[in-house]
Chains A and B, each alone.
Chain A
Amino acid sequence: MKGFPACLEDLKAQGRTLVGCFPLYPPLELLHSFGLTPVVLWGMREDITSLALSDRHLQPYACGVARCLSELVISRGHELLDALFMYNACDTLRNLPEILQAALIRDGRELPLFRMHIPAVPLERPYAASYLKDRIRLLVRELEAFTGRPFSQERFLKSVSLYSRRRRLCGELEKAAAEGRFSFADCAGIILAGSRMPVEDHIPALESSIQSAGGRDVGGERPGVMLSGILPPPMILLETLEHSGLRVAANDIAALKRSYAYQPAETDDPETYYEDFYRNHYPCTTILPSADRRVDTIRRIVRERDVKGFIFIGEKFCEYEYFEIPEMEKMLRNEGVQVLQLEMSMDDILNLDAYRTRIEAFSEMLCQGRQCKEA
């Protein structure tokens, strides 16, 4: 798979107007409806090999997502991106806009920036929903000014339909992997590629993968594990996991499941659409009002998918994730699920053997003498 910067180069060569969106759940449909190509700036850990520029602005205890994003924007944002979008997804990301703008301005390369505050209180409260709708209206006006074209309900509905389709296909592909009909490593790679690819191109890629999965269950008997974290681990670790005889029966990864699990009702009204989107979003540590639903959601999935082991892929320094781990671990142990906690920092990408050993040991524990080798 092409690296993140190379993908953006290709898109720019096609004459597209790219909006670099800060993670995690930006309003992609709305940006798309204005003829823009939104890309979500995460999943670059294996593509960004130097953090020299980012390190001039961020201390090393910023998470890898923020550091990679910063490196890309500062080094090549001016040539690969046409604008930036961010919302208050987390404390680290909210601190970044001025830092990045200052770095770009210093080099005479300012990028237009769209900012939005998404309520962190339940949208069931009328004033919170009203506040969100105001923010959406404001964003629409800003996008109209930026693109020079008026908002179109028809175009928005088309964009919504495309993203709906993409989410459904992501779910289908994940299901194929969960049933052992498709490699989860491949599944994760294909889904994650959507963050750097136009939705129109991502849909056929997903369809093709689903078709290739076929109907034969080639590994469904292997012990099922569930992965959780912000990003999937490096591909080599996913491959290790599958080679060691485990099957990824489910995931709770922000860049994967949490991004496509909930599909709002299709409508041509962006205010209604995003109220539904953020109110009913699959639980995520960063969507504060959803936190109470998270333990129950994972418990349900663990039971439904017969999960035997749970692997936390900790994004080093992501406190949102780490605050919830002890409670989650307690619930999982009560459910009889074994837990493995891994922690990935930027430096770990060069030293993965320790992780491989731990995954293999975890696999041996789950298999306990059963035939667990790769089908």
Chain B
Amino acid sequence: MSSEKSPGKFQKNTSGKRLSGIIANDYLTLHRRASEGAFVVWIAIIVPAELFNGFENVVYAVPESHAALCAGKGAGRILCEKAEGSGYSTDLCSYARIDIGTAFDGGKDSPTFGLPRPNLLVSNNNNCSLLVKWFDVYHRAWNVPHLVLDIPFCYEDQKESDFRYIMEQFGTLIRTIEEMSGQKFDIEKARESVKLSSEALKEWKRFLSFAAHRPSGITAFDSFVQMAPILTSRGSRQLLDHYRMLADETEEQVKSGIFPVPDEKYRLLWDNIAPWHQLRKMSGRLADLGANITSASYTYCIGALEGRYDPYMFDGGDPLAWLARLQNFSVCPHGLNLRGKAMKEVIAKNAIDGVIFASNRSCKVYSLMQMDQMRHIREELGIPCIMIDVDHADVRKYSEETAFTRLEALLEMIESRRAQ
């Protein structure tokens, strides 16, 4: 999180420093436990990681998260180039290229030394089907089993038949791990893990709620960075404690009058995956213009059902049912109307002045609705919107000056609207 003295700039406070420790520790622990014989599962981000905590000695790694970390640390380009050198097209998702470049070069140039070799790959297709194709690359190269969770896309709320179908697949996942690892699944352990996740997501939403304050208590960039442990520590006490402290600390800062962009004139919303290679530059440069991207669809959707903002809380019942119902806690599996519904709620809740639609070549599922979404938001709410071109992890496909020409135009549009 940022400090009052350095608007928009990343200066680590207690939460930031703790986050670095958590992430470093998570990757070290992952490597250590894998080397000690833990059963290793590679998963796509929406795969219900809490299930793995129902086993005695199963660890999981998230290639998407690893790729984002690489991009954030400046290793995205070199790792993409390795994959391209192996024949993978530059049009493929840059997360996939980074991860393939890492995996097939033994983890070199990765800040985490890559990920430990998996015993099982588990992907799903509601965030994007390309995850399936991406994991298939390892499946065939290393002869590692690959289990796909087929989660029907949501044009409306999840249907009962889809819910039942997902539950059946969770059963297959559990049986597969039991058979492969020789370990027995303990639903009580999974229940405890789900309870911790649910509480952590509630704290996450509390943290995000400070975006409603004027000036905002957070930037979307804070949320981009702070979402990392949702992917590496899901279902853990550590995650809950961290998010509770993060929310508490943010609340304290707001009460103390410490804001990331103290001279906040423009409150913006970001639609797409974070531009990992630009977090510092973009936040700092926007802050200099008095602009704060306070909210992002990429992070406000976490923990909520389709088209909603508030967290979906665990009721203490069947943990698998909670996980199945929450299998769409990302924007990508949502249709145009559901996305629009959540976006309008956030625009109202956080008093958004303008929306940045980041058209992301590496994520077509996120991007290929944006032109219509932009039109709807503009026409229905009268909010100024722009579209900029980005790639979430491949810096070669981003032009800072072109993006800022449009961002500055957005601020002018907001001013013009205010003057009317």
Contact = CB atoms under 8 A, between A and B. Distances in A.
Interface string A123-159: 0010110010010000000000000000000000000
Contacts of B361: 61
A91 B332 CA distance: 10
Given A88-B153, A91-B365, A323 B136 contact: yes
Interface in A219-277: none
Interface in A323-348: 323-327, 329
A99 B130 contact: no
B359 A94 contact: no
Interface in B162-206: 162, 165, 168-169, 172
B165 A131 contact: yes
Interface in B371-407: 371-372, 376
Main secondary structure of the interface of A (DSSP, over half): helix
B365 A320 contact: no
Interface string A64-107: 00000000000000000000000010111011111100110000
Contacts of A285: 133
Interface string A268-299: 00000000000000000100110110010000
Contacts of A324: 133, 136
Contacts of B365: 91, 94-95
A98 B153 contact: no
A58 B140 CA distance: 34
A180 interface: no
B161 A134 contact: yes
A311 to B, nearest CB: 16
B36 interface: no
B348 interface: no
Contacts of B88: 322-323, 326
Nearest to B90: A322
B370 to A, nearest CB: 8
B409 interface: no
A130 to B, nearest CB: 9
Interface residues of B, number: 46
Contacts of B96: 323
B110 to A, nearest CB: 20
Contact of A323 (B134, B155, B376): B134
Given A131-B161, A288-B125, A325-B87, A58 B152 contact: no
Given A102-B336, A121-B169, A127-B168, A320 B129 contact: yes
A119 interface: yes
Contacts of A120: 125, 129, 132, 148, 150
Given A120-B148, A134-B161, A319-B93, A291 B130 contact: no
B371 A58 contact: yes
Contacts of A325: 87, 89
Interface in B129-149: 129-130, 132-134, 136-137, 139-141, 148-149
B87 A323 contact: no
Contacts of B87: 325-326, 329
A127 B165 contact: yes
A317 B91 contact: yes
Given A91-B130, A98-B155, A99-B372, 19 more contacts: A59-B359, A91-B129, A95-B365, A96-B368, A102-B336, A102-B376, A117-B162, A119-B150, A127-B169, A131-B165, A288-B148, A317-B91, A319-B130, A323-B88, A323-B92, A323-B137, A326-B88, A327-B140, A327-B141
16 contacts: A57-B372, A99-B369, A99-B372, A121-B149, A121-B150, A285-B133, A288-B125, A295-B140, A314-B89, A319-B91, A319-B130, A319-B364, A320-B129, A322-B91, A327-B140, A329-B87
